[in-house]
Every structure is written in structure tokens, then in C-alpha cells.
């Protein structure tokens, strides 16, 4: 069999997570208006300030235009057809996992994250977001003992309004961009985490997001604050079942790191990518930004993007504190007709700030993969240092790889380096593997894993394994 057809057959493997859970959902009518926002806010029993903020964001959103600069193409989104709130109907929040709807737990089992198993064996506290309402938060108590607040965003709004009010919108203001404004108006749920001074979070915090009910956009909001001298590692995984119509996903993630604090944020994004002809799939327009507010702080983004029909996502770092560090490690895979326009922004503001960007793009089938990144060294950023590397791999002759790196340097003491390359899997590399008796498929998978290694080794252990599996699933049928 030829290499090309082998590679292709690998890519044709079906979406493994395409099932829907039939649960009675508490849903608001489709469409967006001030009334809907009031309704969402009321359903979530939010304090007044939250509603006000949502309405301000909504009014601002009305004045904005949908951005069109991305290297992605999709039919216009009808924002009045989207259902902005959907949550499973449970009378009260379950106090333990036993009270959680067994069907829900089954769904997570299929995704390979049995809550129980994770709770008892892996020692991971999971805040599972099922559509819009956070269903179960595990390990709350253990974390609470250390003073760490880890809960759903709605809970945080109710129970820690002072913290939410203090930090919400300080990294991504509602005026930031079209999708951030929309999110600020209608966000349903998400995770909130606060790590107090001097605390090293003892476990990896993780959230699984999942879009379930048809026609509901998911607008989650995550806020993580690492106070002085603290450390937290946060994992986020996304999967969505097969749907025919496109669903919008517009999340906002805000990270704040104080003096000497460190936040490590890892994502595996595996939303439904649409079928081979490009029907269905998630539109994923996410605003993620971290603020290194304190001196010597560090924010590190690691992401594996294999899903979504369209991805527009630029996890960014505002390096404000002196000696602060921003890192971005990414693997983005596009297969069939997927389009991804992803990258990062590193804004160097403080002195001796450092950033590292490693981006690996893999395009197969008719996928279009774009790296768009910006490194900005402001005038006061004395001694700033950046290293960027973005490599693309092409599998098949109908896909595309594009890079748009912007380097803006306004300080002469800065050192900025950018390197990019594009290539395909080397014939000689494949031949070498084959002549050692390694099958074509294994060889390709091995080479691709090697290509992504620099990024995967940044992922926490549990994720690294899943990431490798996911990568081979995503590319199944494209290698052969």
C-alpha cells in the first residue's frame, strides 16, 4: 500500500465520542436579548453586580462587529438561533457523586474519565461541567483544607463575590473582542480557582467541558488566581458529541499570577470536528489570556487542539511583572475540512521578561492550519527575551499550512528569535522505520509523535498519554 493512502485511511477513523446523553434539560428559549440575560442571571441566582456586568457587556457587544481577519471561512452565525443556557435538571446540587445522575456519569465513563476512578485512584479533583452547570466537584474538601478555592464559576459568584468582582474582566475585559463580549454577557458556567499565598496546590486540578444539548452554545468562563508564591496546574479537556448543525463555543479564560506565582494551564481540545465533508462541528472561538502581574511569576500554556470544525484561539501572556515568564506549547491538528487559526500573543511589559513559543501544526486531508502569533516588546521591557519556533507538517497534497508571526520590538536590548519550517514526513525516515520491520502506520505515528514531543513533554502525565492517543485517532485514515 502506498504511504499516502495509508495515511489517509488512518484519518478516516470516526469520531469516538459521538454519543448524546438523553437527560431532561433546563433550557431557555433561543435568541439573545436583555431579557434572556436577566433570565440566565436569575436562574443562576447571581448577585446584582454580576447582572449589571453582563448587561454592560451585552450593550457593548451590540456595538461590535464580528471579526473577519482570521484565516478561516465559515457561513455567518445567527446569534438569535443559539440557545444561551442549558443545564441538566437536578433539584439541588448533589453533595456526593452518589447523587449524580448515573447517565451523566456514564457519559464521562465513555470519555474515559470515570470520576470515581479519578477521585480514588488518580488523585485528580475534577470539576465536571455538563453543558452549562457544574455537576460535581470532587476533592473540594481536601483542597479547602489548604485554603484553595476550586469550584464552579456560579458558586464562586455566589460564595466569593468579592474575589470574583476584584478579578473578573481584569485580564480579558468585556470590551476586548467580539466573542469575549458575547461570553461576558451570557457565560453560563466554568471553573474558578484561587490559590492562596504560599500554597503549592497538591494535585492537578481539572475540568472536563462537554457540549451536549443540541443548538446550545457553550460560553464558559474560567478564572484562576494564583496568589504570591503559589503554584497551580490546571487541566482542561473538551469533547462533544456528533451534531449536524454547527455549534458555537466562545469561552473566556483569565489567569492572574502574583509575585513568584506559577500557573500551568493545559488543554486538550477535542470538540466534534465535523464529518469528512465538513458538515457539522464546533466553532471554537476562545479568548484565553494570562497576566503575569507579579515579579518572577510564570504562566505556561500547553494545548493539544485536535477537534472543532473551526478554531480561533490565541492563549496569550501579558508579562507585566519584572522577570516574569510566559510559555506557549501547542500542537494543532487539522484533518478533513477542519480549519484552525491558532497561536499566541506574548506582550513583554516588565523588565527581563522571557517568553518561549513552540507551536507544531499538523495538516492532513483538506485541513487548513494557521499559526498566528505576536511577540511585542514594549519600550520599558529592558532585557526581554523571546524564542519562537513553529513547525508545520503536511500530510497529503490538499491541505495547507500557514504562518503569520508578528514581531514588534520597541526596545533595543531585546532578543527576539523566530524560526519556522514546513515539511512533510520524510521518505527516508519512513524507509528507515520500514526496513526495521515497523509497519507503515506505526512508523508514521512514531514520526508524528516525535514531531510533537517537545510539546507533549510539557503536558502532565495523565494528559500526555491521552494526547498521544488522541493524536493518532485524529490522524487515523490520513496515514497509510
Q: Between 348 and 377, how does the x/- string for binding to other proteins read (CB under 8 A)?
A: -----------------------------x
Q: Between 134 and 173, how does the x/- string for binding to other proteins read (CB under 8 A)?
A: ----------------------------------------
403 sits near other proteins (criterion: CB under 8 A) = yes
Q: Can you state the angle between helices 3-11 and 461-475, rounded to 10 degrees? A: 120
Give me the phi and psi of 359, to 5 degrees please.
-125, 130
Contact (Cβ atoms closer than 8 angstroms) between residue 124 and residue 203: yes
Q: Which of 81, 410, 457, 469 touches other proteins by CB under 8 A?
A: 410
Name the segment binding other proteins (CB under 8 A); options: 153-161, 225-233, 308-316, 406-414.
406-414
In the complex, the smallest distance separating the C-beta of residue 301 from other proteins, rounded to whole angstroms, is 22
In the complex, the smallest distance separating the C-beta of residue 439 from other proteins, rounded to whole angstroms, is 21
Name the segment binding other proteins (CB under 8 A); options: 172-180, 182-190, 320-328, 419-427.
419-427
Name the segment binding other proteins (CB under 8 A); options: 91-99, 272-280, 413-421, 463-471.
413-421
Contact (Cβ atoms closer than 8 angstroms) between residue 117 and residue 216: no
Angle ∠(468,472,477) on CA atoms, nearest 5: 175
In the complex, the smallest distance separating the C-beta of residue 371 from other proteins, rounded to whole angstroms, is 9
Q: How many residues bind other proteins (CB under 8 A)?
A: 35
Structural element, H or E, at residue 247: strand 247-249
Q: Which of 418, 438, 442, 462 touches other proteins by CB under 8 A?
A: 418
Task: Work out the number of other CB atoms within 10 angstroms of the CB of residue 235.
Answer: 22
405 sits near other proteins (criterion: CB under 8 A) = yes
Distance from C-alpha of 336 to C-alpha of 399, rounded to nearest angstrom: 9
In the complex, the smallest distance separating the C-beta of residue 356 from other proteins, rounded to whole angstroms, is 15
5 sits near other proteins (criterion: CB under 8 A) = no
- State which of positions 253-292 bind other proteins (CB under 8 A): none
Q: Which of 409, 448, 464, 475 touches other proteins by CB under 8 A?
A: 409
Q: Which of 55, 295, 420, 446 touches other proteins by CB under 8 A?
A: 420
Contact (Cβ atoms closer than 8 angstroms) between residue 308 and residue 283: yes
Residue position matching grid coordinates 487541566:
235
In the complex, the smallest distance separating the C-beta of residue 386 from other proteins, rounded to whole angstroms, is 9
Q: Tell which residue, 285, 327, 267, 284, has the closest CA to residue 467.
A: 267
Strand pairing of 221-226 and 345-348? unpaired
E strand intervals along 218-365: 221-226, 231-239, 247-249, 252-257, 262-270, 282-292, 298-305, 310-313, 316-319, 325-334, 339-342, 345-348, 354-364
Give me the phi and psi of 292, to 5 degrees please.
-90, 90
Structural element, H or E, at residue 161: helix 161-167
Q: Which three cell numbers stand for residue 181?
A: 463580549
Task: Please report which residue ranges of 24-101 form alpha helices under DSSP H.
Answer: 34-43, 48-62
In the complex, the smallest distance separating the C-beta of residue 434 from other proteins, rounded to whole angstroms, is 18
Q: Which of 413, 439, 465, 469 touches other proteins by CB under 8 A?
A: 413
Q: Between 373 and 402, how does the x/- string for binding to other proteins read (CB under 8 A)?
A: ----x-x------------x-xxxxxxxxx
| SS3 label, residue 87 | strand
Q: What is the CA radius of gyration of the chain?
A: 22
- Among residues 184 and 368, whose Cβ is nearest to other proteins? 368
- Among residues 7 and 263, whose Cβ is nearest to other proteins? 7
- State which of positions 59-78 bind other proteins (CB under 8 A): 69
- Among residues 120 and 431, whose Cβ is nearest to other proteins? 431
Q: Tell which residue, 192, 197, 256, has the closest CA to residue 227.
A: 197
- Among residues 340 and 414, whose Cβ is nearest to other proteins? 414
In the complex, the smallest distance separating the C-beta of residue 327 from other proteins, rounded to whole angstroms, is 19
Name the segment binding other proteins (CB under 8 A); options: 37-45, 76-84, 231-239, 404-412.
404-412
Give the rounded distance of the alpha carbon of 34 from its chain centre.
28
| SS3 label, residue 386 | strand
Distance from C-alpha of 109 to C-alpha of 105, rounded to nearest angstrom: 6
Distance from C-alpha of 286 to C-alpha of 315, rounded to nearest angstrom: 8
Q: Which of 49, 120, 406, 431 touches other proteins by CB under 8 A?
A: 406
- Among residues 244 and 417, whose Cβ is nearest to other proteins? 417
Residue position matching grid coordinates 431557555:
28
In the complex, the smallest distance separating the C-beta of residue 267 from other proteins, rounded to whole angstroms, is 25
Q: Which of 12, 111, 407, 438 touches other proteins by CB under 8 A?
A: 407
In the complex, the smallest distance separating the C-beta of residue 410 from other proteins, rounded to whole angstroms, is 5
In the complex, the smallest distance separating the C-beta of residue 398 from other proteins, rounded to whole angstroms, is 7
In the complex, the smallest distance separating the C-beta of residue 285 from other proteins, rounded to whole angstroms, is 20
Q: Tell which residue, 287, 340, 286, 288, has the closest CA to residue 310.
A: 340
Task: Work out the number of other CB atoms within 10 angstroms of the CB of residue 182.
Answer: 27
Distance from C-alpha of 269 to C-alpha of 239, rounded to nearest angstrom: 7
Please give the residue ranges that form the binding site for other proteins (CB under 8 A): 69, 377, 379, 392, 394-424
Amino acid at each position: 500500500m502506498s504511504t499516502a493512502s495509508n495515511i489517509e485511511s488512518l484519518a478516516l477513523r470516526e469520531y469516538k465520542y459521538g454519543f448524546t446523553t438523553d437527560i431532561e434539560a433546563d433550557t431557555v428559549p433561543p435568541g439573545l436579548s436583555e431579557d434572556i440575560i436577566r433570565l440566565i442571571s436569575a436562574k443562576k441566582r447571581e448577585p446584582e453586580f454580576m447582572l449589571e456586568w453582563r448587561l454592560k457587556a451585552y450593550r457593548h457587544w451590540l456595538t461590535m462587529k464580528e471579526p473577519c481577519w482570521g484565516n478561516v471561512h465559515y457561513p455567518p452565525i445567527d446569534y438569535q438561533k443559539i440557545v444561551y443556557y442549558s443545564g441538566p435538571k437536578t433539584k439541588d446540587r448533589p453533595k456526593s457523586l452518589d447523587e449524580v445522575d448515573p447517565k451523566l456519569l456514564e457519559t464521562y465513563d465513555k470519555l474515559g474519565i470515570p470520576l470515581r476512578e479519578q477521585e480514588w485512584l488518580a488523585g485528580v479533583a475534577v470539576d465536571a461541567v455538563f453543558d452549562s452547570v457544574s455537576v460535581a466537584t470532587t476533592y473540594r474538601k481536601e483542597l479547602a483544607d489548604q485554603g484553595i478555592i476550586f469550584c464552579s464559576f456560579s458558586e464562586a459568584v455566589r460564595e466569593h463575590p468579592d474575589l470574583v468582582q476584584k478579578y473578573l474582566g481584569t485580564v480579558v475585559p468585556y470590551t476586548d473582542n467580539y466573542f469575549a463580549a458575547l461570553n461576558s454577557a451570557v457565560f453560563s458556567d466554568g471553573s474558578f480557582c484561587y490559590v492562596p499565598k504560599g500554597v503549592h496546590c497538591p494535585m492537578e486540578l481539572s475540568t472536563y467541558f462537554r457540549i451536549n444539548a443540541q443548538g446550545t452554545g457553550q460560553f464558559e468562563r474560567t478564572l484562576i488566581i494564583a496568589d504570591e508564591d503559589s503554584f497551580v496546574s490546571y487541566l482542561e479537556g473538551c469533547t462533544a458529541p456528533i451534531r449536524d448543525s454547527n455549534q458555537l463555543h466562545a469561552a473566556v479564560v483569565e489567569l492572574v499570577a502574583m509575585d513568584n506565582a506559577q500557573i500551568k494551564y493545559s488543554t486538550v481540545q477535542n470538540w466534534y470536528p465535523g464529518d469528512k465533508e465538513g458538515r457539522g462541528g464546533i466553532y471554537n472561538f476562545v479568548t484565553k489570556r494570562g497576566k503575569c502581574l507579579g515579579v518572577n511569576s510564570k504562566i505556561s500554556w500547553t494545548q493539544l487542539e485536535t477537534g472543532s470544525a473551526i478554531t480561533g484561539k490565541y492563549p496569550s501572556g501579558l508579562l507585566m511583572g519584572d522577570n516574569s515568564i510566559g510559555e506557549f506549547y501547542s500542537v494543532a491538528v487539522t484533518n478533513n475540512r477542519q480549519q484552525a487559526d491558532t497561536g499566541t500573543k506574548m506582550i513583554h511589559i516588565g523588565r527581563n521578561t522571557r517568553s518561549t513559543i513552540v507551536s507544531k501544526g499538523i495538516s492532513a486531508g483538506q485541513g487548513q492550519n494557521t499559526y498566528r502569533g505576536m511577540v511585542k516588546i514594549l519600550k520599558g521591557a529592558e532585557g526581554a527575551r523571546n524564542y519562537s519556533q513553529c513547525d508545520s507538517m503536511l500530510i497529503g497534497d490538499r491541505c495547507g499550512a500557514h504562518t503569520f508571526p508578528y514581531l514588534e520590538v520597541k526596545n533595543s536590548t531585546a532578543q527576539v528569535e523566530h524560526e519556522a519550517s514546513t515539511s512533510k514526513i520524510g521518505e527516508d525516515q519512513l524507509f528507515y522505520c520500514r526496513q526495521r520491520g515497523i509497519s507503515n502506520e506505526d512508523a508514521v505515528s512514531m514520526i508524528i509523535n516525535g514531531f510533537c514531543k517537545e510539546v507533549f513533554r510539557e503536558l502532565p502525565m495523565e494528559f500526555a498519554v491521552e494526547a498521544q492517543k488522541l493524536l493518532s485517532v485524529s490522524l487515523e485514515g490520513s496515514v497509510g
